[in-house]
Structure 1
Amino acid sequence: MNTANPTQPRPFFRLGRSSWNRFVQNFTTFFLNPRALAIGLVFASDNILFGSWGAHIPYVKEKLHLSDAALGLILFAQPVGLLIMNPLTGWIIAKLGEARACFWSAIVLVLAISIPVNAPNTIVLAFGLFLLGLAAALINVAMNTAATNLERAEGIVIMSSCHGMWSLGGLLGAGVAGAVIALHVPPAIHIIAVSILILILTIAVQPILTKIPSSSRTESGEKAGSSFIKPNLDLMLMILIGLALAMGEGAAFDWSAVYLHETLGASKQIAALGFASFSLMMTSFRFLGDAIIPKIGARRWLQIGGILGAVGLSIAIFLPYPPTALLGFALLGIGCSLGAPILYGASMRVPGIPPAAGLATFATFSFIGFLAGPPAIGFVAEGFGLYYGLGMVAVMLLISAGLSRSVKQF
């Protein structure tokens, strides 16, 4: 049995036969272990739904005659739901268990995902997005907790592969949605079809998920998901690192296409490749992560990742040409790829903090990076230019690399 601790620092990563063997071992362990694969499918299902919905936002904007400002305000209903639910997730998971929490939150996601594309007005649209935020918060904590429980129970390393499945789900959801839009399939029909498929998948994996040990109680006997807590120093440092990485992701998600098209003069087709290059490298390295993290160590990877992300953005800024910018966003994807698998897992292993409560607290505060990051880049860009907005993120990534040295849990 592989008992390697993914947070234990190891000698610097060296490419070779042993590294390849480790990757093959972890990769086959993940896909041939029914319980590991079941959790991975939950991760993928979550982002397939959101990737499918995200592609239809322009359709909803046009249908309801929304301005950019009005759309931005209404879309904020989803993170509001997430922020409201996050402090409650530990308590709910303690009552239901991880498997049932995954199941019921997935059911709510499947039912709620059809509301936005069919919304007749902004009130219904906001309500649907709010429900999506509630369900997304619960399934996020439940599936990450289940993955950590299985790692602990079987001595395997699967967290990064699970997050790779999440990234892959988003790519599949958005890719299929793009094809559907090109074929002029009505968005409502597409979303219903995806929802039915995810519902069938959710029901199919549920019996397997119930076989995963539940962290209803910790070793000390306290309830594992009893409450949302005030972060201690270690958890606060993880949150700050997570904020910086989240801003890096936000820079790619929301600003890569804008930067390539409006600042560097690339065509819209080339500009779209900025996010694609970022996502492809993030997904690839997340599948490699369960082999890379034990070899390098979590602390060292976060240092390398923060530096890589900062270098990538610097290349995009100081070599302002579309090909070099694409390379820069690809490096940013590598740098940000393993932050979530490391930090989500580490937040559940902070001494004295119940696992689900640590994860819920980390998720709540670190999500501010997704909320505040893109607008902060926009404010800086408005006053000084997008070069400076992306430069601010590069500086934060360098700071996160330095902060990772101080986290005892790594």
Structure 2
Amino acid sequence: MNTTASLNKPNRNLFIQNLLTFFLNQQALAVGLVFASDSVLFGSWVAHIPFVKAKLHLSDAELGLTLFAMPIGLLVMNPLTGWIISRLGEARACFWSAVGLTLAVCIPLNAPNPIILCLGLFLMGLNAALLNVAMNTTATNLERAQGIVIMSSCHGMWSLGGLFGSGIAGAVIALHVSPPIHIMIMAGLILLMTFILQPILAKVPSSSRTETGEKAGSSFVRPNLDLLLMILIGLSLAMGEGAAFDWSAVYLRETLGASSQIAALGFGAFSLTMTGFRFLGDAIIPKIGAKRWLQIGGVVGAGGLLFAMALPYPATALIGFGVLGAGCSLGAPVLYAASMRVEGIPPAAGLATFATFSFIGFLAGPPIIGFVAEAFGLVYGLGFVAIMLLISAGLAKLVKLF
């Protein structure tokens, strides 16, 4: 079946074909598992944020301040990602950043004081920034080399990993397993999987040079209007993801009085709907239209957060976070692909620039929510994210997707 023609006429067969292409392709599945391992670690960490907050006696503002250590690590790594990837290659960059992340994620839950907590989060930010660019570039290389479409499925694996990580965290909390022990076990399993996947990832063609002669490691460019709009939309959607990652459990536990087990399901509800929509993405996006989906997604995501705030009960909040996941689900696959097709900007540089700044929204959003929560209450912090999502829907009307 011609890929272009099938994308113009999405149907159930196309959906099944895309999934089979992804899951039966060893290299594609290996790349997807890298995406999943990243979010398994994050999902495991965020479910225990209330534990760290209580252990170190942190206020909302203090927690928000410590969480800023992660985006600081990202900002430090930003100028280096292209240079590192161009010298190591995408596969080795994925490997070493994944190894670094598995080691760094063990630090925050074992931190005896806020300083060590910040150090651990900073190291997580360093490695997560490099892994984010490396794994998305690897997925793009594989798409180009084999003529397949896997980006949405890879991001679906990322969501699936978060769902799995938060689900396991909820179970271990219910079983009263020590959070530090849980995180070290999960990190050990991910580390083992990383070593197993490395030989497969090494077979993915490296974009040492693209068809245009652009060097793969080309890092960042000054964004033009279209790329800037993509970045702003991506920042807003990433803040929605960050809100679910870092604050859903806190909102359910401290604001709504849910049990620790129920609170851990907040991110799970978000990840469940996000995962489903991302695996459907290759059929949904062509049918609805990428630009129109960005508009719909921003409104739906904002609606989910507003629903969780307007009806402040654990059950309704879980529904709200689920709706938020649906709204934020396809923004990343759409925008990652579009960032490589911006006129006048080399594909790798467009991808690196967009990935970096959208990930800043993912990491910096939660600390901003913490500051707003300290001053006005967590409900207002989540409301700020809802406003940003509505703004992203408006910006989506202006952006040009090539």
TM value normalised by structure 1: 0.85
Amino acid at match of 2:330: L
Q: Name the residue aligned to 2:43.
A: 51
- Determine helix, strand or coil for the equivalent of 1:4: helix
Q: Which residue of 2 aligns with 1:96?
A: 88
Contact 1:225 1:355 in 2 (8 A): no
Moved more, 85-94 or 389-398: 389-398
- In the other structure, the counterpart of 2:30 is 38
State the match for 2:328 in structure 1.
336
Contact 1:305–1:401 at 8 Å: present in 2 too?
Answer: yes
* 3-state secondary structure, aligned to 2:92: helix
Match of 2:392 among 379, 384, 400: 400
* Cα displacement (A) at 1:298: 1.6
Q: Percent identity?
A: 76
Q: Which residue of 1 aligns with 2:203?
A: 211
Query: 2:146 aligned with 1:154, yes or no?
Result: yes
Shift of 1:100: 0.9
The answer to whether the 8 Å contact 1:48/1:170 transfers is: yes
- Whole-angstrom distance in 2 between the partners of 1:25 and 1:37: 15
* TM-superposed deviation, 1:294: 3.0
Deviations 1:308-342 (A, max 9, x none): 22333454456666655544433221111011111
Quick check: 1:87–1:364 contact (8 Å CA) kept in 2?
A: no
User: CA offset at residue 168 of structure 1?
Assistant: 1.4
Alpha-carbon shift at residue 23 of structure 1 (Å): 1.3
1:187-336 maps to which residues of 2 (within 5 A)? 187-256=179-248, 274-316=266-308, 325-336=317-328
* Stretch of structure 1 that moved more, 375-384 or 135-144: 375-384
1:337-381 CA-partner distances (Å, limit 9, x unpaired): 011111122223323333333222223322343355345556666
Please, which runs of 5 or more residues in structure 1 have no aligned partner? 12-17
Q: What is the Cα deviation at residue 264 of structure 1?
A: 6.8
Deviation at 1:242, TM superposition (A): 0.9
The answer for unaligned runs of 5 or more in structure 2 is none
**How far apart are the structure 1 equivalents of 2:258 and 2:48?**
24
**Aligned partners of 1:324 and 1:64: how far apart in 2?**
30
Q: 1:196 to 1:214 in 2, by over 3 A?
A: same
Q: What residue is the counterpart of 1:3 in the other structure?
A: 3
- Comparing 296-305 with 141-150, greater Cα deviation is found at 296-305
Whole-Å Cα distance in 2 between the matches of residues 274 and 110 of structure 1?
A: 23
Amino acid at match of 1:353: I
Residues 2 and 156, structure 1, Cα contact 8 Å, conserved in 2: no
- Per-residue deviation at 1:393? 3.7
Q: AA paired with 2:38? A: D
1:163 corresponds to: 155
Instruction: Give me the CA root mean square deviation.
Output: 3.1
Q: 1:325 to 1:194 in 2, by over 3 A?
A: closer
Superposition deviation, residue 261 in structure 1: 6.8
The answer to whether the 8 Å contact 2:36/2:159 transfers is yes
TM-score (norm 2): 0.87
> In the superposition, relative to structure 1, how do residues 168 and 316 fare at CA in structure 2: closer, same or farther (>3 Å)?
same
